[in-house]
Amino acid sequence: MEIKVKIGRPEKEKTEALVVGLFEGAKGFSREVTSLDKALSGAIREALNSGDFKGKLNQTYLIPAMAKIPASRVLLTGLGKEKEFTKDRLRQASGKSASYLSCLGLSSFATLLHHELKPVKDSSQALLEGCILGLYRFDKYKTNDKENGKKEIKEVTLLVDSKNDERGAWDGAFTGKVLAEAANFTKDLVNEPSNHMTPSIMAETAMLLAKNFKLKCQVLDRDEMERLGMGSLLGVAQGSNEPPKFIILEYNGNKKEKPVVLVGKAITFDTGGISIKPSENMEKMKSDMAGGAAVLGTFMAISGLKLPINVVGLIPATENMPSGTAYKPGDVLKAMNGKTIEVISTDAEGRLILADALVYAKRYEPKVVVDIATLTGACVVALGRHATGMLGTDDKVKALLKNAGDKSYERVWELPLWEEYEDLLKSDIADVKNSGVREAGTIAGGIFLKKFIDYPWVHLDIACTAWDSKEGPYRPKGATGVGVRLLTEFLMGWKG
């Protein structure tokens, strides 16, 4: 998509559509909208007076321009109540508008939406995020015509008032475009059927990403993992015919600093293993690699933004399958650091592959390690579908992640790691067991991971946010791409 920023008046802009935002219950118009309404012979005011358009959040109303202005049509978009307006509501309005115009078969439009928040850099970023995220569709495997006649939006023009706003609008629009495209890349990976997104294909994707963005990439195979003693990861992998892969990415934007390490769980399909899951909704278990996909998307974003930091990405990738060679409840596995693990449930496999990755992270002497994983169904019970669970040992990093979550609207909510929870995972025959009783399931997962770190660390449980069965203004059904904008915003604010 081509982005343009122009100093200009809306009533003089030649475009397929002009997007104008209006607040619910607003008494008057801005200077730009007043001039536009006058050029349209009061059509905007008439839409409000008639009650056809009320300005409710994400309401849309199309006005044919009838050759009164160079634009072919004007799309009114509701912004809701002005006192309740936020960056995310701007994302919503932008996503809704772009999707609506795409359904009309248009390929370009101009917009004034970014006028509604200051500074213009932040509003332009939110606008482009909403637009590109809202246009996302995964129709790769549909052999008929594209859904509902939607057309690709190829050009978006941001109209600004002055030279002072032009630079900020460019910077914000570029950042928003990079973040949204990286999130959509992650959605593609997660939406892929598991027969088209195996550990090997995921590793090939990482190598191609590294080539395109000049990153360092290394992929460890089963023999190399065996030499390193990654018995926990290999225990999960032994039930599948698909070979496991351990993906290592490095982004070097600062020669002096020790890196931030991102670890992403990548179970490319999770049956639950011998502790098999119910068949209902099992097809969604292709999304159990969403954490690893989010790490790949974050590397795409930070490379595009050229952030002046060092970041390492570690992605343990495997399937979790039941077979004659699969690991079983009651087995004991040995992790890379020598800790022994009693397997209670083979469906608590994500923490097992992360354990070896967290131990491996130590060799980088990291400033902090953040892992991201679809770890526990218990997180959905605890937090629903609107918040990512956060647990960790570093208060500064948790605060930065919370702030990044508020900015990106990929919000996080902290759960405790108090020592009283340690008893949940005590084993009679090994150092730790991989699953406890039903209570505090998300916390128990965090307690398990904590046993494999000795550095500042935060865990993000995205089991509740990686997949959505409901469509939103800038979020189609399916993979959400969660984690990419959150982690990138965190890294943009990282001071070391």
DSSP one-letter string for 233-289:
HHHHHTT-SSPPEEEEEEEES-SSSPPEEEEE-EEEEE--TTSPPPSTTGGGGGGGG
DSSP state of 27: S
- What are the backbone angles phi and psi of residue 391, rounded to the nearest 5°? -140, 150
- Tokens 């915003």: give the residue: 489
DSSP state of 135: T
Burial class (CB in 10 A: 0-12, 13-18, 19+), 138: middle
User: Element (H or E) spanning 7, and its range?
Assistant: strand 2-7
DSSP 3-state assignment of 310? strand
Q: Is 351 a catalytic residue?
A: yes
**Closest by alpha carbon to 491, among 247, 266, 178?**
178
Q: How many CB atoms lie within 10 A of CB 204?
A: 14
DSSP one-letter string for 390-459:
EEES-HHHHHHHHHHHHHHT--EEE----GGGGGGG--SSSSEES---STTHHHHHHHHHHTT--S-EEE
Residue among 81, 277, 362, 402 flagged as catalytic: 277
User: Element (H or E) spanning 20, and its range?
Assistant: strand 18-22
Structure-block tokens of residue 477? 């059904």
Pairing of strands 310-320, 332-334: unpaired
Q: Which residues have C-beta within 8 Å of that of residue 23, sequence separation ≥ 6? A: 55, 79, 80, 81, 82, 85
Helix-, strand-, coil-residue percentages of the chain, each rounded to 5: 40, 20, 40
Residue among 351, 407, 451, 485 flagged as catalytic: 351
DSSP state of 101: H
CA atoms within 13 Å, Cβ hemisphere of 384: 2
DSSP state of 11: G
DSSP one-letter string for 40-82:
TTTHHHHHHHTTS----TT-EEEEE-TTSSSSSEEEEEE---G
Give the separation between CA 401 and CA 291, rounded to whole angstroms.
Answer: 16
DSSP 3-state assignment of 293? helix
- Tokens 């098999």: give the residue: 276
Catalytic residues: 277, 351
